[in-house]
Chain A
Amino acid sequence: MTDNAIVTLRELYKRFPAGKGTFTALKDINLTFGKGEFSGIVGPSGSGKTTLLNIIGSLDTPTEGTATVLGKKINVLSQKEAAALRNNGIGFIFQTYNLLPVYTVYENVEFALLLQKISAPERKKRVMESLQWVGLADRAASRPASLSGGECQRVAIARAIVKRPALVLADEPSANLDSANSHHIVRTMKELNRELGTTFLFSTHDEKVMQYLDRIIYLKDGAVEKDELC
């Protein structure tokens, strides 16, 4: 484990019950991600990318092995501790954006800060700053239904980075976007990675995303096939 490692996975296995037996989604994963990395987990559907991101994001636990994220062992965290870890240290970007439809763009981004009990003036400052980073400050009062797919994903990026997490997990962020928007949002994330030093970890099989990555980990049938720097 390097000094600046924020994610360390050791001999990690994940099995799911399947019929009378089990299905092994992840096999003997040994990986370390350092601070400020812009890395991607690449592989075909069913290769275990999302399962791996879910474990790193403390939304799931490994069946075997250890996963240490931001100094916390995911295996032993209580629900409350896992929630605190996600709240303070991890931002999520989903393939389907997962914006709250009844809230405005501003409120969607602000929501993450409300959970951190940050004062209203500070929230306003940080929300507007995040929206400016993703180029949506002028759409703060709009509702998600009135935004394009690319704009929705940019709101999701703003929501993920507004709390300045050490780690952002993006699960197939470009899957629902056209080519131009895919490039745009990945470029946005790359800039944020450079400016804020935030670690970005993608799961993707999109070539357009891959060209921006500093490191690509290839997963096949739940195991690491290749781990290369670009």
Chain B
Amino acid sequence: MGNGRRTWLNVSVLSLAFVVIIFFNGLLDGWNKQAKTDTIAWETGYGRLSHPLYDPYDPYSFSGAHGIPGLPEEVLTGGQTVSVLVTQASAYPNGRQVNVLLKGIDPAQSLLELPSRWLDSLPEGIRGTTIPAVIGQRMARSAGLKTGDRMVIRWRDVNGTFDAREVTVAGIFKTNVPTVDAGQLWIPLEMLRLITGMYGETTYFVIGEELAGSSLWTGDRTGYGGWRYTPLDTLMQDIETVVEAKQGGMMVISFLLLCIALLAIFDTQVLSIFRRQKEIGTYIALGMTRLKVIMLFTVEGTIHALLAILLGTLWGIPLLSWLHRTGIPMPDMSDQAGLAIGEKIIPAYSMAMILSTVLLVVITSLIVSYIPARKIAGMEPTRALKGKLL
């Protein structure tokens, strides 16, 4: 194969690696951004003030995790908080028993995208005889429920006494956030307070953006009975952790692809030095220092990277832009991942990410070009002139 063809083959493989690395990183960044946006919109808001005993990962903590924090009235009525009361219950859809979380929420809230207004949408005839509930698609699918279906739920009130009532599914919402959906029934807050005897009580407050930066959550919080404020960064930690784990896997793929491309450049460099021994000897005879010859060959190798970036730009920009416009469809099962994944992930390409990928490709190419070029430093010019260096 001629030098020209070999060069362009190397450049093509490297440009593929370059674009794929950007795509993978963009996909993860897009997922991260999308997961955070959806989780903020549907579940966490911009902060959470929770009962000191509340642990979202420990259902046994829910029975004691309710109270009245004594927040200022203007905070409670300012539209920047949503009170949520949580208790465990059993539901009996279609003759089966399902463990669920009963979550009470104000039907009039607008801070979260959760369609709590549907809780007021039951027809006049049945309103008052049944408890309205909204559920997510995952819950509906697993329990075999559809809008208008009725089922019995059983719970224990504040005194530990069992009680049961019938609920009617007022609506089924679709969300990318499984943690507000799977195994959960959303009912009116005041109804949950009434049936559990937890009058005026709350398990946690979702805090809106405007209130998240308030001084209410810093300093002495004894006035809130030790309630714990969790800032947005901490609430997003799970998503960050999962995305970081995925990034590890994708980095391995990117690394392997980059290695293949760099191996080709390395091979070409070795071949080039082998073939051009006389030329190297001539450079030295003409007065070029060995360091300059090494630099010349290193730069020649690095030009592969620059050409690859240029080529990658030519075919990568249209492709990545198209993927950014259309998004990457996710498989049906992705909604059971336990983390917010949309039907489509829109890759997000930041300038910092693109520049860091460019730097990665250039620097690694520089290194693999330098390693064989370093051999020049140890050669005897007289042997190089005769073509007997290697």
Chain A residues in the interface with B (C-beta under 8 A):
54, 57, 59-60, 79-80, 83-88, 92, 94, 96, 98, 100, 111-112, 115-116, 159
Contact = CB atoms under 8 A, between A and B. Distances in A.
Contact of A112 (B278, B286, B382): B286
B76 interface: no
B287 A87 contact: yes
Contact of A87 (B278, B286, B291): B286
A61 B382 CA distance: 11
Nearest to A165: B287
A83 B385 contact: no
Contacts of A80: 289, 291
10 contacts: A59-B382, A83-B290, A86-B286, A86-B287, A87-B286, A94-B282, A94-B385, A98-B285, A112-B286, A115-B288
B287 A100 contact: no
B381 interface: yes
B26 to A, nearest CB: 39
Contact of B287 (A54, A88, A96): A88
Given A60-B381, A79-B290, A100-B282, 18 more contacts: A54-B382, A59-B284, A59-B381, A59-B382, A59-B385, A83-B284, A86-B284, A88-B287, A94-B282, A94-B385, A96-B278, A98-B285, A98-B385, A111-B286, A112-B286, A115-B286, A115-B288, A116-B287
Given A79-B289, A83-B289, A115-B287, A98 B382 contact: no
A100 B280 CA distance: 10
B163 interface: no
B113 interface: no
Given A59-B381, A60-B382, A98-B385, A92 B285 contact: yes
A96 B278 CA distance: 10
A141 to B, nearest CB: 21
Contacts of A85: 287
Nearest to A98: B282
A222 B265 CA distance: 44
A101 to B, nearest CB: 8
B292 to A, nearest CB: 8
Nearest to A53: B382
Q: How large is the interface on B (under 10, 10 to 19, 20 to 34, 35 or more residues)?
A: 10 to 19
B279 interface: yes
Contacts of A111: 286
Nearest to B3: A102
B7 to A, nearest CB: 13
Given A98-B281, A98-B385, A100-B279, A92 B380 contact: no
Contacts of B278: 96, 98
A136 to B, nearest CB: 18
Given A54-B382, A59-B381, A86 B285 contact: yes
Nearest to B291: A80
A115 B279 CA distance: 15
Contacts of A88: 287
A92 B286 contact: yes
Contacts of A84: 287
A80 B290 CA distance: 8
A156 to B, nearest CB: 10
A225 B287 CA distance: 32
Contacts of B289: 79-80, 83
Interface in B268-297: 278-279, 281-282, 284-291
A84 B290 CA distance: 11
A112 B288 CA distance: 9
A160 B45 CA distance: 78
A79 B381 CA distance: 11
A154 B385 CA distance: 19
B268 to A, nearest CB: 16
Nearest to A100: B279
Contacts of A60: 380-382
A59 B285 contact: yes
Contacts of B381: 59-60
A215 B291 CA distance: 38
A144 to B, nearest CB: 12
A86 B290 CA distance: 13
Contacts of B385: 59, 94, 98
A96 B380 CA distance: 19
A92 B285 CA distance: 7
* Residue of A57, A84, A98, A111 most packed against chain B (CB within 10 A): A98
Contacts of A92: 285-286
Contacts of A96: 278
Interface string B285-317: 111111100000000000000000000000000
A83 B279 CA distance: 16
A24 B320 CA distance: 67
A15 to B, nearest CB: 14
A11 B284 CA distance: 27
Contacts of A116: 287
* Those 4 A-B pairs whose CB atoms lie nearest each other, nearest first: A87-B287, A86-B287, A98-B282, A83-B289
A113 to B, nearest CB: 10
